[in-house]
A and B are shown apart, each in its own frame.
Chain A
Amino acid sequence: SFELTQPPSVSVSPGQTAGITCSGDALPKQYAYWYQQKPGQAPVLVIYKDTERPSGIPERFSGSTSGTTVTLTISGVQAEDEADYYCQSADSSGTYVFGAGTKVTVL
Chain B
Amino acid sequence: QVQLVQSGAEVKKPGASVTVSCETSGYAFTSSDINWVRQAPGQGLEWMGWMSPDSDNRGYAQKFQGRVSMTRNNSISTAYMELRSLTAEDTAVYFCATPGDSPFDHWGQGTLVTVSS
Contacts and interface: CB of A to CB of B under 8 A. Distances in A.
B103 A33 contact: yes
Contact of B108 (A42, A44, A52, A54): A42
A43 B103 contact: no
Interface residues of A, number: 24
A45 B110 contact: no
B107 A43 contact: yes
B59 A88 contact: no
B45 interface: yes
Given A86-B45, A95-B59, 13 more contacts: A33-B103, A42-B109, A44-B107, A54-B101, A54-B105, A86-B44, A88-B45, A88-B102, A88-B103, A95-B47, A96-B50, A97-B47, A98-B44
Interface of B: 35, 37, 44-47, 50, 59, 61-62, 95, 100-105, 107-110
17 contacts: A35-B45, A35-B104, A42-B95, A42-B108, A43-B107, A45-B100, A45-B104, A48-B101, A52-B101, A54-B105, A86-B44, A88-B45, A88-B102, A94-B50, A98-B46, A101-B44, A101-B45
